[in-house]
Amino acid sequence: MATGMIRFQSGFTLLETVVALAVILAAVVGPVSLITRGLFTFSFSKNKVIASNLAQEGLEIVRLVRENNVACDTQNGPATWQWNRDPEGGILTRVRAGVDMESFTTISCGTAIISTPRLSVSCSGPLLYENDPLLDNYGMYGYRSGIQTAFSRCIDITSPPDAHDSDIPASAQMDVISTVTWNERGVERRVVLRERLYDWR
């Protein structure tokens, strides 16, 4: 026996469903986008720290060459060895030179022989990272062996500098600029460190 009455069943309307989905999506998409942004920021920060350390190492290598020159001069007597001498000969002036803590040459200082870094390595290629724990240079960046990295390092040395300190002779000064570049998500990034070195003898 039909009574002719329509019974309504309880449930969600289309509008309620859309609102519920929007709330769920907002709850999921917000944290996911924050996590993604955090990962990109972490990656950039990590690469910037590595690049800063590599640029600082470039300055330290040139400083070591200067210190070795002064030590060699001390071994030979007064003013026989130039403070800004290139280990390969001549005055230490380079444009777009590479430096590598794995590449050394020796300089003869009277009876002493001093091992000093070479500055003749080209900076056109990327630095390599040695990831073999059995090697002495494990964890170091260089040009000899290892896996290719995104980083390249170039050193510019001007001796004497263009705009030198007026109270010190120009011949007793050199400017060193260490530049590390890398590509990150299609954008070229760079860290540039500058230092002025002096003949402090």
Q: What is the 3-state secondary structure (H, E, C) of 71-120?
A: HHHHHHCCCCCCCCECCCCCECCEEEEECCCCCEEEEEECCEEEEEECCC
Q: Within a domain: residue 174?
A: yes
Among all chains, which residue has been given the structure tokens 């609102």?
Answer: 19
For the record, the structure tokens of 96 come out as 């777009």
Residue 121: which pLDDT band, with cuts at 50, 70 and 90?
A: low
Kindly tell me the burial class for residue 94, based on how many C-beta atoms sit within 10 Å of its own C-beta (0-12, 13-18, 19 or more): buried
Q: What are residue 38's phi and psi, to 5 degrees?
A: -60, -40
Q: Within a domain: residue 26?
A: yes
Q: Are 177 and 192 in contact (CB under 8 A)?
A: yes
Alpha carbon 78 to chain centroid distance? 38
Q: Within a domain: residue 35?
A: yes
Q: Within a domain: residue 10?
A: no
For the chain, give the percent of residues with pLDDT over 90: 24
Q: What are residue 83's phi and psi, to 5 degrees?
A: -65, -30
Look at residue 178 and tell me whether its pLDDT is greater than 80: yes
Look at residue 20 and tell me whether its pLDDT is greater than 80: yes
Residue 159: which pLDDT band, with cuts at 50, 70 and 90?
A: confident
- Alpha carbons 84 and 197: distance in angstroms, whole number: 9
Among all chains, which residue has been given the structure tokens 């007064």?
Answer: 78
In a 3-state reduction of DSSP, which class is residue 152? strand
For the record, the structure tokens of 29 come out as 């998409």
Q: Within a domain: residue 53?
A: yes
User: What pLDDT digit, counting tens, does each position of 21-59 carry?
Assistant: 888 888 888 887 777 777 777 888 999 999 999 999 999
Count of domains in the chain? 1
Provide DSSP, 111-139: TEEEEEE---EESSSPPEE---TTSTTTT
Q: Within a domain: residue 1?
A: no
User: What pLDDT digit, counting tens, does each position of 80-106 carry?
Assistant: 678 888 887 777 777 778 887 778 888
Alpha carbon 3 to chain centroid distance? 84
Determine the structural domain holding residue 125 and report its residue range: 15-198
Q: Within a domain: residue 127?
A: yes
Q: Which H/E stretch holds residue 189?
A: strand 187-198
Q: What are residue 89's phi and psi, to 5 degrees?
A: 110, 150
Look at residue 113 and tell me whether its pLDDT is greater than 70: yes
